[in-house]
A = this chain, B = another copy of it.
Amino acid sequence: MNDIICTVDVVLMTLRDSRLHVALLKRDHAPFLGALALPGGYIRAAEDADTQAAAVRMLREKTGIDSPYLEQLATFSGSSRDPRGWSISVAYYALVPAEVIAAGGHPEVELLPVEALKGLPFDHQQIIEAATQRVRNKSSYSSLPVYLCGENFTLPQLQKVYEAILGEPINKVSFRRKLDELDILEAVAGAMETGKAHRPAQLYRLRKCFRQQLSLTGRALNAAG
């Protein structure tokens, strides 16, 4: 065989205070003992059907979360990224609402804004930057940001999530039209957002068939027109 170290790492992201955050954990063993790092670890050939299954297991073990959206990001590799030797990390990313991280029952999970990271071990900084870039690109023409919302949300709330990720205001009329094109939402019968000063707004949720699958638009959601 060979002596290559085979691991997976998961970039678990959420939105807090309208900024993308990533979930990090203090490492409990060498190398980089005590440093904040991505949840990850060795692939177990006897246990994991493939790298996706390994990522699902890692996320469950280390954060208590089963993310409905978990996608392969890219593979990072080489002789210099891990002091233990030549290694491969198949990196995945996941998006969940912040409440899901709190409910995961792992209070040791720390959320840090993706823009304020430094001194991370291995090439985790580079992996997180690649994931952030992927989320921003993909959000502009897909339903991806919906995974950052809770189960039910109003259209203005959803628009705010898109705006937070894309980093710019979006025209409301054009946003609503593109949402219609995506055809991913259904009104929650009889459910309105309450307890706010303004007029109650209809609550929506993802249609069942899209809960684990993206819908794509032909044109960017933040494009003019």
Contacts and interface: CB of A to CB of B under 8 A. Distances in A.
Interface of A: 1-6, 42-43, 45, 49-52, 72, 74-75, 77-79, 85-86, 88, 90, 218-220, 223
Copies in the assembly, this chain: 2
A51 B79 contact: no
Contacts of A51: 75, 77-78, 88
5 contacts: A1-B3, A4-B45, A50-B78, A52-B77, A219-B223
Given A42-B2, A219-B219, A49 B90 contact: no
Contact of A6 (B4, B52, B72, B220): B4
Nearest to A51: B77
A85 to B, nearest CB: 7
Given A2-B6, A51-B75, 5 more contacts: A2-B42, A45-B86, A75-B90, A88-B90, A218-B220
Contacts of A1: 3-5
A11 B86 CA distance: 24
A48 to B, nearest CB: 8
A110 to B, nearest CB: 28
